[in-house]
Amino acid sequence: MTLNLPNVLFPDTSLSVAGLTAYIQALLEHDDQLRQVWVTGEVSSATRYRSGLFFTLQDPDAQASISCVVWSSQINKLATLPAQGEQLIILGRIHVHPQRGSYQLMVWQALPAGEGLRALRYRQLRQQLEREGLFDPNRKRPLPRHPQTIAVVTSPQAAAWGDIQRTLKRRYPGLHVLFSPALVQGDQAPVSIVSAIRRVERDGRAEVLIVSRGGGAIEDMACFNDERVVRAIASCSIPVVAGIGHQRDESLSDLAADVCAHTPTAAAEQAVPGLMDLVAEHQERLDALHQAVQQNLNDCFDQCDRLRTRLQRLTPDRQIRQRMQAIAWMRQRLTQSTQQRLQHARQYCDLLKQKLTTLAPQAVLQRGYAVVTQEDGAIVRAAADLLPGQDVTIQLAQGSVKAQVSEILNTQPIQLVDKPL
């Protein structure tokens, strides 16, 4: 039997299965792009073994899949654990199994994709800004009680702008409103919002800034979770009221603002007081003031009545008599006190007079003492001051005598005795 083959070139040599597999392994594992590659897909199955987690990542639209493995030593480092039905972004490298003739993605990191990725980024940025203190309640500034100028940052086509205008006009007529337009959706929105906020700061007239946008899909609100917008709101020199989305929505811009009102209408209501509320407060103050004045008048009338009653009980004549009695009593006390002081002074003078009389020289002479003087009139106080034959004069109580010293008997002092000679 003859085999009819088409015109085919037969090679001189052929590769073995191992050689072909080694060639493919070298191509895949040494490719720079495949040594560290990010892959997006949906987990179709996942099985946990002691050695690691094995799962399949597939692309349902293209009907393609790839086997993946996370070794046990790497599982705790994953940002999210692969589970069936989840969309993930996988970081890993291609590894070829020569024995099975298959390849596999060895995973180092797994991140949530789509909605999960946004949530992860939101959570990471929120934690970072919280650590920096941008959401600290202590840094929140109070809004002015009666602002005269308010600035609004939003899109001119947005319904939020109309809601804010109607609310401000209804609640606080005569308010000066500054409009700083900005994109509030899309990739260019963060830069546009930051520029609008800076424009209001440079203008310097606004006392309150409203940053607002109506509700929408989560993707449409992403610009208010942008780090640039959040930091611009947190560092704004003007108190900021955030009115973004609906009640169920909460963005990082809401957390950074001084006041979070969630909706544009609520933001306008927070920024200014209601006119009717002001009228009511004013009326309450008037009522309180009237009551205070009336109470004060009543107190004054009561005091006048008490004084009038006291005057009726105590007539002027009686008051005069009481005053005169008091004056007479004080005069009597003054007279008695003066007489006592005068009597004491007289007694003291008499005592001094007696002492002076007792110590007078003439009184001493009357008691029998004598004063001896020399010729020059000097009083002799010691016998040693005299010489025999010296003339002296002796002064007695009555008259004086001349004498001559005949002898000096004793020069020692003697104790005088109060005794007549």
pLDDT tens-digit series, residues 264-297:
999 999 898 877 777 777 788 888 899 999 999 9
252 and 161 in a common domain = yes
Residue-number span of the structural domain to which 131 is assigned: 122-137+146-273
Rounded to two decimals, the pTM is 0.50
**pLDDT given for residue 116 in this prediction:** 56
> Tens digit of pLDDT for each residue in 40-85?
888 878 889 999 999 988 876 667 889 999 999 999 999 888 887 7
Mean pLDDT within 9-23: 75
Indicate if 220 and 309 belong to the same structural domain.
no
Helices assigned H by DSSP within 101-158: 115-132
80/130 same-domain check = no
Looking at the chain, the whole-number percentage of residues with pLDDT higher than 70 is 90
Residues 33 and 88 occupy one common structural domain = yes
Of 364, 371, 381, 369, nearest to 420 by C-alpha is 369
Mean of pLDDT values over 102-106: 91
Q: Same domain, yes or no, for 151 and 32?
A: no
pLDDT value at residue 128: 93
Residues 154 and 24 in one domain: no
pLDDT score recorded for residue 371: 82
| Whether residue 223 sits in one domain with residue 151 | yes
CATH of the domain at 72: 2.40.50.140
Taking alpha carbons only, the member of 58, 227, 198 closest to residue 129 is: 227
Q: Are residues 319 and 193 in the same domain?
A: no
Within a domain: 107: yes
Segment among 98-102, 232-236, 237-241 with least mean pLDDT: 98-102
CA-to-CA distance for 130 and 5, rounded, in angstroms?
A: 76
Are 130 and 194 within one domain? yes
Is residue 360 one of the residues assigned to a domain?
Answer: no
Q: How many domains does the chain have?
A: 3
Mean pLDDT computed over 300-313: 83
Mean pLDDT confidence for 368-378:
82
In a domain, 165, yes or no: yes
Q: Answer whether residue 373 is part of any domain.
A: no
In a domain? residue 95: yes
CA angle 146, 151, 154 (to 5 degrees): 135
Q: Is residue 397 part of a domain?
A: no
Nearest-angstrom CA–CA distance, 75 and 378: 135
User: Among candidates 294, 268, 63, which has minimal Cα distance to 169?
Assistant: 268
pLDDT, residue 421, reads: 40
User: Which CATH number belongs to the domain containing residue 152 in this structure?
Assistant: 3.40.50.261
Same domain, 93 and 126: no
The answer to whether residues 70 and 87 belong to one domain is yes
On whether both 255 and 167 belong to a single domain, the answer is yes
Q: Is residue 269 part of a domain?
A: yes
The model's confidence at residue 238, banded by pLDDT at 50, 70 and 90, is very high
